[in-house]
Amino acid sequence: MSQNPMQDQLHPFIFEQSAIRGNCVHLDQSLFTALEHQPLPPALKKVIGEFTAASVLLTSTLKMQGKLILQLQSQGALQLLVVECTSELDIRATAKVHEELHGDHLSDWLEQGQLVITLMPEDGEPYQGIVPLEGDNIASMLENYMLRSQQIDTKLWLAAEGDRAAGLLVQKLPQQQESDLDCWNRIQHLAGTITDRELLDLDTETLLQRLFAEEDLRLFDGRQVRAFCSCSQTTVTNMLQMLGLAEVRSILDEQGSVQIQCDFCNKQYVVDEQEALALFDGNDDHEITH
């Protein structure tokens, strides 16, 4: 485990007297915990790490209480990659692989892929955006989404290694008067000099000082990031009720009970026949065991 003193924290920062803001995140124990029950090849773990760092960076820029879901869907070897981050910065992630992954790059595993970004506010309707996969660079895919769907200039730098990941985001807020007309170009250029090693190994304060030594920058207190799976007996119950009585009866006839395993945390839920059928007759006194 990394001994980074700022591990599992997101730090917002702003450039004073400008319309530019940023976030820096380091994931260590939280990423390890989120993925510890999933046997993932190192190259795929790296991609999930970068996606997870990106989800935290993007979630923290949204003015909403709720959840951001990033989904990579493909007809290739990598069928599905899902990362979720709540407004409280709780993260979880998983992937589904159709066949053995060959090559070390995301583009090697994708065929007819798309990136689906879903915003799920606690109050209000979900919003979904779909972005074509152009190249194998996660950062550029998300930058395109932010520009097309949110009309916000955004630059991302992401790195992952083993059970660690880190990311840096800078944004130019729209419709704000900018006195320093070259500021956005300058900040992008300076941030673009960052290396993966610096991003992963340096604490946020040192990193920003190294990148933006001449800029008037204010760093805010960090926010904790943690791995947390939202699966529960209630979500299992709701899922079975959505399946309907006929489908549940079919599963019971075949298996004798309903067995559901969470893709994210691997927790096993077992619902016996009596409990399952009770969901459809108004009897809520039955406890689901796992």
User: pLDDT in tens for each of the 290 residues of the chain?
Assistant: 334 445 899 999 999 988 899 999 999 999 999 999 888 888 889 999 999 999 999 999 988 899 999 998 888 888 899 999 999 999 999 998 877 888 777 888 888 888 999 999 998 899 898 887 775 578 988 888 888 777 889 999 999 998 999 999 999 987 666 666 788 999 999 999 999 999 999 999 999 999 999 999 999 999 999 998 888 888 888 888 888 888 888 888 888 888 888 888 888 888 888 888 888 875 444 444 44
DSSP code, position 289:
B
pTM above the 0.95 mark? no
Largest CA distance in the chain: 70
Residues sharing a CB contact under 8 Å with residue 47, sequence separation 6 or more, in sequence order = 81, 106, 138, 160
Number of H helices, E strands in the chain: 10, 14
Cα dist. 82→47, 93, 117, 263, 287 in Å?
11, 6, 10, 10, 30
- Tokens 């400008």 belong to 18
Cβ pair 34, 16 in contact under 8 A: no
